[in-house]
Structure 1
Amino acid sequence: MIACIFILTSGSSGGGSDLGSSIGYLFIIPPLSFLLWYRPIYNGYMKEQALYYYLYFFFGGWHLLFSLYMIIGIPSTGSAGLVQTIRMFIQGHLAAAIIGTFAAVGWIVQGAGNAFFYRQIWAHRKAAGHTSIRRRPN
């Protein structure tokens, strides 16, 4: 959001929509992240039920795609990713470009961490033998 404020003050044509979208993300992402991927994986590990793992994989996968979208940084989408940062460097708005670089690097670190944990949880689920079919004891 701070990077989008700098993009707005640099005179970018889509700066207002960037700032508005980033404020929306600030209020939407935390509760959705808790409900849609943090809570399911907690329940998955705690109860060892495959359904919770699949909920995490579905919504966590969408979050991975969203992270990639934010890393790219398409103008007027609320992202200060790579495209926005390169535009600010080219236009000579160094303050917005430097803050945008921090935002892009932050999204890259967050996306890489999310991908790492996604892979770790996938391996745990596979090693535990979880399937979508519930087996009854003989």
Structure 2
Amino acid sequence: MWVCFSFILQDPSVTQVTTSSAEPVDQYSPFPQSNDGLATQTTPYQPAVLQPSTEPSPQASAAAAQANLLRQQEELERKAAELDRRELELKSRGSTGKENNWPPLPKSFPIKPCFYQDFSEEIPTEYQRVCKMMYYLWMFNCVTLFLNLLACLAYFTTDATYGVDFGLSILWLILFTPCSFLCWYRPVYKAFRTDSSFSFFFFFFVFFCQVVIFIIQSVGIPKWGNSGWISAFTIIGTNKAVGAIMIIVAILFTICAVISVILLKMVHSMYRRTGASFQKAQQEFSQGVFTNKTFQTAAAGAASSAAQGAMRGNN
């Protein structure tokens, strides 16, 4: 038996197992060691800690909302002020989109220019001469009305019964100076600028009345506030100085009447070459009325009132 056991121990496979340098099973560790030879340390257990709530309080939320509303209100007010400023600027520039330059007033003056006027830029070359002559006629008429006031004042100093002429001369100066500019000079300026048939017809109607007024002023009917020929010859026998002044004013009124007739014929001849017509004037007038905001608002209000009245009648 001992012989058999010795024979088994001498077997190469048994010898290899018994002489192997492998570590015993009880010394085997399933966790790998670190490169520096130190064992891996496990993270110690830490208990969970409750974080405090980050939601704002109701008072803080209300304060933030109020501050946001105030900021939005300030922004809206700033935008509204900017819009108002732009609207005023557009109004000051008029329909042409350019800054008004007439009347030419100083920048420090409280009243700003109301119109934009530039013959070389807005009026065609073939119409500039006539348009300028109409402008010079308006200025000449204003000077004549002022001199008429002085002549009527001198007339009033010689005879107190002619105080009505002096009062009416003040009225004519205040009334005709702006009305003549707006009622016949600006329409003819616009007619030449835009080739507007309606502006031409409006000018012809008003300027014809102006020619009649020039003739009446040059005649000088007493107690009508005009230093014309009749009034001048009436006073020249008693006061030659006042009569001479009134004759000069009568000559100026006569010049205004003659020039106005000539310019009326010149404008009419140019009007016939522009291709304007009464039908175009009607179309321009209807388009201007129906596109006018005031007319649209009034029409909408009238329609609404009529509808409400009909509903009340049905009820």
User: CA shift at 1:69, angstroms?
Assistant: 0.6
Is 1:45 aligned with 2:176? no
% identity of equivalent residues: 22
The structure in which a higher percent of residues are helix is: 1
Quick one: distance in 2 between partners of 1:116 and 1:30?
21
TM-score w.r.t. length of structure 1: 0.92
Quick one: distance in 1 between partners of 2:234 and 2:152?
13
Aligned equivalent of 1:76: 223
Is 1:16 aligned with 2:150? no
Query: Which secondary structure state, in structure 1, belongs to the residue aligned with residue 226 of structure 2?
Result: coil
Is 1:64 aligned with 2:211? yes
Match of 1:108 among 254, 261, 276: 254
Match of 1:121 among 257, 262, 267: 267
| CA gap 1:115/1:12 in 2 versus in 1, 3 angstroms | farther
- Does structure 2 conserve the Cα–Cα contact (< 8 Å) formed by 1:71 and 1:108? yes
The letter of the residue matching 2:163 is: G
Quick one: distance in 2 between partners of 1:30 and 1:23?
11
Query: Which secondary structure state, in structure 2, belongs to the residue aligned with residue 133 of structure 1?
Result: helix
Question: How many aligned positions are there?
Answer: 134
User: CA shift at 1:11, angstroms?
Assistant: 1.1
Aligned equivalent of 1:98: 244
Quick one: distance in 2 between partners of 1:128 and 1:87?
47
Could you say which structure has the larger radius of gyration?
2
Greater length-normalized contact order (CA 8 Å, ≥ 6 residues apart) = 1
- Does structure 1 conserve the Cα–Cα contact (< 8 Å) formed by 2:168 and 2:225? yes
Aligned equivalent of 1:4: 152
TM-score w.r.t. length of structure 2: 0.41
- Does structure 2 conserve the Cα–Cα contact (< 8 Å) formed by 1:19 and 1:78? yes
Is 1:130 aligned with 2:276? yes
- Does structure 1 conserve the Cα–Cα contact (< 8 Å) formed by 2:217 and 2:253? yes
The letter of the residue matching 1:34 is: F
